């Protein structure tokens, strides 16, 4: 019996990516099943019933989904963050969970600059704005996206700083980035702070009022990571107390309407998380995901497993 691979994407891949995944699956002798643009979690629960593998994006692979996936051996998150997979439940069921690190980083990094420019140019409203050139940019967490953000920032002639206790200072220095020892120092120093933290219990609410209030006059935070890493009550407090504070996010907070209504001239939110929503990122991450599944079934390769 040929293996069944489900591609479950509530936010669908570009057609080109699906075509590539489909071609590789076919070559491997797999049957590909698509569940795109679904709106009910129950649709995902139903779709996994007889699949051997699945490719997802921000789709929630909960304990309930896993319990219904009787044949599932592997789930690959086509992307970086895997906070949407119940890793413990997967481990208990013997399901290997993987991500595809780096495959969509450039797309996210480009959006960082789109958001920064939007704030700097006052939403293209006709008001006089500022330039990115010569400004200090702080990268909070120097992973794959942070590295790409630094590369692009160099083209804008920005001065780049980074805080990441898990990355060697030598690596940052080699990339032309000034490593910063303390998180607060990054926020104090920079005109823009771009957040690239993963969502985990240690990072939820990490960017709080205490940290944000250290920022310079007219400073801005750009969040393309996860909404939960910025504490929402703190964000509202910051907007209320600091009339000079700017915030733009590709991961809009729950209070986005309130912020937009009261502080619309100092904030911007994409309608939907769009950072990785490019044809190129979809193709890269989608192809990596199906290849990882093929290698796993053929050779037992678990290189990108995140739930060991
Ligand atoms: C990721 O973690 O890879 C990014 O946040 C992109 O997520 P998406 O696939 O839901 O767009």
Closest Cα to atom 10 of ligand 1: 58
* pTM over 0.75, yes/no: yes
| All structural domains of the chain with their residue ranges | 4-103+278-299, 105-269
DSSP 183-195: HHHHHHH-SEEEE
Cα 4 to ligand 1 centre (Å): 24
Cα 285 to ligand 1 centre (Å): 10
The DSSP secondary-structure symbol of 207 reads B
**CATH classification code of 105-269:** 3.40.50.720
* Nearest residue to 222 via CA among 145, 111, 81: 111
* Full pLDDT tens readout for the chain, 308 residues: 799 999 999 999 999 999 999 999 999 999 999 999 999 999 999 999 999 999 999 999 999 999 999 999 999 999 999 999 999 999 999 999 999 999 999 999 999 999 999 999 999 999 999 999 999 999 999 999 999 999 999 999 999 999 999 999 999 999 999 999 999 999 999 999 999 999 999 999 999 999 999 999 999 999 999 999 999 999 999 999 999 999 999 999 999 999 999 999 999 999 999 999 999 999 999 999 999 999 999 999 999 999 99
Pocket test for ligand 1, best of 38, 58, 143 (most atoms within 8 A of CB): 58
Closest Cα to atom 6 of ligand 1: 276
Neighbour-count burial of 91, counting CB atoms closer than 10 A to its CB (0-12 exposed, 13-18 middle, 19+ buried): middle
For residue 131, give the 3-state DSSP assignment. Answer: coil
Distance CA(145)–CA(104), nearest Å, equals 8
The two domains 4-103+278-299 and 105-269 share their CATH topology (first three levels equal): yes
Cβ(108)–Cβ(224) below 8 Å: yes
Q: What superfamily does domain 4-103+278-299 belong to in CATH?
A: NAD(P)-binding Rossmann-like Domain (3.40.50.720)
């Amino acid at each position: 019996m040929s293996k069944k691979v489900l591609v479950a994407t509530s936010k669908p891949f570009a057609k080109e990516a699906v075509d590539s995944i489909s071609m590789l699956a076919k070559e491997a002798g797999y049957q590909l099943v698509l569940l795109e643009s679904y709106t009910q979690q129950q649709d995902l629960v139903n779709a996994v019933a007889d699949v051997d593998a699945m490719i997802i994006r921000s789709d929630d692979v909960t304990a309930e989904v896993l319990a219904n996936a009787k044949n599932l051996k592997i789930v690959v998150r086509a992307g970086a963050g895997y906070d949407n997979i119940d890793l413990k439940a997967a481990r208990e069921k013997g399901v290997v969970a993987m991500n595809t690190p780096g495959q969509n980083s450039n797309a996210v990094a480009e959006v960082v600059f789109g958001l920064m420019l939007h704030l700097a140019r006052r939403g293209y409203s006709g008001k006089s704005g500022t330039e990115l050139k010569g400004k200090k940019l702080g990268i909070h967490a120097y992973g794959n996206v942070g590295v790409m953000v630094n590369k692009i920032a160099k083209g804008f002639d920005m001065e780049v700083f980074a805080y990441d206790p898990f990355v060697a200072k030598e690596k940052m220095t080699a990339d032309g980035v000034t490593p910063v020892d303390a998180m607060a120092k990054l926020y104090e120093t920079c005109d823009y702070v771009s957040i690239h933290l993963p969502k985990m219990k240690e990072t939820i609410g990490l960017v709080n009022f205490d940290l944000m209030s250290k920022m310079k006059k007219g400073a801005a935070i750009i969040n393309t990571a996860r909404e939960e890493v910025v504490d929402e009550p703190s964000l509202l407090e910051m907007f209320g107390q600091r009339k000079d504070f700017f915030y733009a996010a590709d991961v809009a907070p729950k209070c986005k309407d309130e912020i937009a209504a009261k502080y619309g001239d100092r904030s911007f939110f994409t309608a939907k998380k769009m950072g990785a929503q490019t044809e190129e990122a979809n193709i890269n991450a989608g192809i990596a995901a199906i290849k990882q599944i093929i290698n796993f079934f053929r050779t037992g390769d678990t290189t990108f497993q995140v739930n060991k």
